């Protein structure tokens, strides 16, 4: 998929949390300093304090360092609390802003890009991927500096105590770094595979939930269950490989560290026995520092898992955010008034091909529409009827030719104002969870109740709406599932009529209506003589009274005329009419 680089990236929103990203690690570094100081104090207590207490009955060399250690623990605790607070503010705030950014981007995507991504992938990005990035920010503040600092600080302290033993420390760190590098390379590719498989599962789940009625109607439950089990088995196999790779980190780290502890005890004991300069306290300190390195490296290994997944998610989020609309949205022209009977729309030699498609969906389309006319569009499945409307509402841009709206190229109009003038009712009516009033006001937030009632009456929806408890404030469930197909269509038509200023497009949106209701709807729409109506339908009876009917065939215009004219001049239209008449 072609895309253009954008300045907006997954981690761009971190710029709003500079204070937290600086102060959080600084407080964590204070804890590191306190932690590194404790083994020296413990060595002093073992070598000096215990000797003075046993031989001179002087306990000051025990309780004074002990109190200092206690103080360092308390200070370290509060430093950790402050760091955790900053990490929480930064990660939660970052996650919230990123979700908002992605949601805005999804709504701003070209229709073609949104359809290519698929609802499953987009849902996963805005939930799973953002959660992973959010966790990575928290870990960035809390542990990214702490773990390496503990390792480096412990190495330095080990060299201060005994440079020969310290080389064992250094070898441990190098060996574990090699192990981790191998694991990172192996794991990162596997994480991407797991994520793509999860996208597929989410999309399948969504499709199955939306199509439950169809699945049950065709007794297809077993096939769908098998299909789903195949996908989940694939996910299980892939995530098992990923988890096995990541699970190797801790055991290998512990193995290397424990081997190093054995070596240190062996060589240190030899020096202590030989009285060659190493004390028991220093041995204890060295083991303590090695334990700190072990803990830090285990944390690093877990961070590797977190950041490997986070960077896979970052790649997906960056890709989504980098997509730029191919449709120019900030044209110079806005609302322009024209008189009834004047040309409002002209398709001038328009052709359209979907991206990466070999053949054109529309080819050399030419027709004109005057304000106030009712235009019918009819044709077989795949003839390009709905694509015409997608071009008119600028979901897509013509590959060739020009669409003229009110005398100007449609691409030169302001995007929002153009859509405020064109109201579309799609083939599948979409209602959002909320109330009837909220759904009707989608295109016109300040619409009065009187306007809503008028639109409901015109759409033949008034009676069933006002028979419900709450009337305009009656609940609409997700997808409008508490309404029948015909009721959803009429509510969608009413919603478009509330916002209809210039053009109303009905894209096969009366297919669920009975003939009597459809006839009443058409009569009501006739009274809106100032409104230009474009009606797409498979039924000749829905279009026969239109001022002009456009007959589409395989992406081209077969003929244009009134119902009576087409019966004489168009064999295709006559064939459609006669087949439907015979059926009736």
CATH number at residue 158: 1.20.1560.10
- Tell me whether residue 127 is in a domain: yes
pLDDT given at position 7 = 42
> Phi and psi at residue 583, in whole multiples of 5°?
-60, -40
Task: Give the domain extent around 490.
Answer: 343-583
What is the model's pLDDT at position 271?
57
299 and 353 fall within a common domain: no
User: How many structural domains compose the chain?
Assistant: 2
CA gap 511, 507 in Å, rounded: 10
Work out the angle at residue 534's Cα, subtended by the Cα atoms of residues 533 and 538, and round it to the nearest 5 degrees: 130
Q: Does residue 525 share a domain with residue 450?
A: yes
Q: Please give the C-alpha separations between residue 534 and each of 284, 338, 368, 389, 527, in angstroms, as whole numbers.
A: 86, 18, 12, 9, 15
Q: 369 - beta bridge partners?
A: 345
The token duo for 14 is 């971190």
pTM value surpassing 0.85: no
Which pLDDT score is estimated for 278?
67
What is the dihedral sign for C-alpha 153, 156, 161, 167?
A: positive
360-363 contacts, C-beta under 8 A, 24 or more apart = 360/399, 360/555, 361/387, 361/555, 362/387, 362/388, 362/391, 362/398, 362/555, 362/556, 363/555, 363/556
Same domain, 249 and 202: yes
User: Is 334 among the domain residues?
Assistant: no
d(CA 576, CA 540): 8
Q: Note whether residue 336 is domain-resident.
A: no
Task: Report the C-alpha dihedral over residues 30, 33, 35, 39, rounded to 10 degrees.
Answer: -160
Is 332 contained in some domain?
no
Instruction: Establish if 329 belongs to a structural domain.
Output: no
So what's the pLDDT on residue 334? 57
Does residue 349 share a domain with residue 318?
Answer: no
Is residue 335 in a domain?
Answer: no
Q: What is the DSSP letter of 5?
A: -
Q: What is the mean pLDDT of each run of 10 residues along the chain (584 residues)?
A: 48 86 89 84 79 76 84 88 90 89 80 70 82 89 84 83 77 78 71 72 71 68 81 82 73 75 71 57 78 78 78 82 68 67 88 79 89 87 83 84 87 78 81 86 84 88 86 84 83 85 82 77 82 86 86 88 88 84 62
Q: Do 160 and 306 reside in the same domain of the chain?
A: yes
Q: What is the pLDDT of residue 6?
A: 41
Q: How many CB atoms lie within 10 A of CB 353?
A: 17
């Amino acid at each position: 998929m072609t895309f253009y680089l954008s300045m907006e990236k997954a981690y761009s929103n971190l710029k709003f949390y500079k204070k937290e990203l600086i102060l959080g690690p600084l407080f964590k570094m204070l804890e590191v300093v306190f932690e590194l100081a404790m083994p020296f104090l413990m060595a002093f207590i073992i070598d000096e304090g215990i000797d003075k207490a046993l031989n001179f009955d002087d306990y000051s060399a025990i309780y004074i360092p002990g109190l200092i250690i206690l103080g360092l623990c308390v200070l370290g605790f509060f430093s950790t609390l402050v760091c955790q607070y900053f990490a929480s503010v930064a990660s939660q705030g970052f996650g919230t802003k990123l979700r908002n950014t992605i949601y805005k981007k999804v709504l701003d995507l070209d229709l073609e890009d949104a359809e290519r991504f698929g609802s499953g992938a987009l849902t996963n990005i805005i939930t799973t991927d953002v959660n992973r990035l959010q966790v990575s920010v928290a870990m960035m503040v809390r542990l990214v500096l702490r773990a390496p600092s503990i390792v480096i600080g412990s190495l330095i302290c080990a060299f201060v105590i005994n440079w020969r033993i310290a080389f064992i420390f250094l070898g441990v760190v190098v060996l574990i770094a090699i192990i981790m590098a191998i694991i990172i390379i192996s794991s990162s590719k596997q994480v991407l595979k797991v994520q793509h498989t999860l996208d597929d599962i989410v999309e399948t789940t969504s499709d199955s939930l939306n199509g439950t009625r169809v699945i049950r109607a065709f007794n297809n439950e077993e096939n769908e269950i098998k299909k789903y089990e195949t996908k989940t088995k694939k996910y299980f196999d892939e995530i098992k490989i990923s988890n096995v790779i990541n699970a190797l980190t801790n055991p290998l780290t512990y193995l290397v560290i424990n081997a190093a502890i054995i070596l240190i005890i062996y060589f240190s004991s030899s020096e202590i026995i030989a009285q060659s300069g190493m004390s028991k306290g220093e041995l204890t300190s060295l083991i303590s520092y090695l334990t700190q390195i072990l803990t830090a490296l285990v944390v690093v290994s877990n961070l590797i898992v977190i950041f490997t997944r986070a960077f896979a998610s970052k790649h997906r989020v960056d890709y989504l955010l980098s997509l730029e609309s191919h449709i120019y949205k900030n044209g110079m022209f806005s609302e322009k008034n024209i008189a009834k009977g004047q040309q409002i729309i002209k398709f001038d030699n328009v052709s359209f091909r979907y991206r990466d498609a070999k053949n054109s969906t529309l080819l050399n389309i030419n027709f004109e529409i005057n304000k106030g006319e009712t235009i019918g569009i009819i044709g077989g499945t795949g003839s390009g009827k709905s694509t015409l409307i997608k071009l008119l509402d600028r979901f897509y841009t013509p590959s060739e030719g020009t669409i003229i709206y009110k005398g100007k190229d449609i691409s030169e109009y302001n995007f929002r104002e153009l859509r405020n003038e064109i109201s579309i009712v799609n083939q599948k009516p979409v209602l959002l969870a909320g109330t009837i009033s909220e759904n009707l006001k989608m295109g016109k937030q300040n619409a009065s109740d009187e306007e809503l009632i008028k639109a409901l009456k015109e759409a033949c929806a008034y009676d069933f709406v006002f028979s419900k408890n709450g009337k305009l404030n009656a609940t609409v469930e997700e997808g409008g599932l508490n309404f029948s197909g015909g009721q959803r269509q009429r509510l969608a038509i009413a919603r478009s009529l509330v916002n209809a200023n210039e053009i109303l497009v009905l894209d096969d949106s009366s297919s669920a209506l009975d003939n009597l209701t459809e006839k009443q709807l058409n009569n009501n729409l006739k009274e809106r003589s100032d409104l230009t109506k474009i009606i797409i339908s498979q039924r000749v009876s829905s279009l026969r009274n239109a001022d002009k009917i456009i007959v589409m065939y395989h992406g081209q215009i077969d003929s244009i005329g009134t119902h009576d004219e087409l019966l004489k001049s168009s064999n295709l239209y006559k064939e459609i009419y006669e087949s439907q008449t015979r059926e009736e």
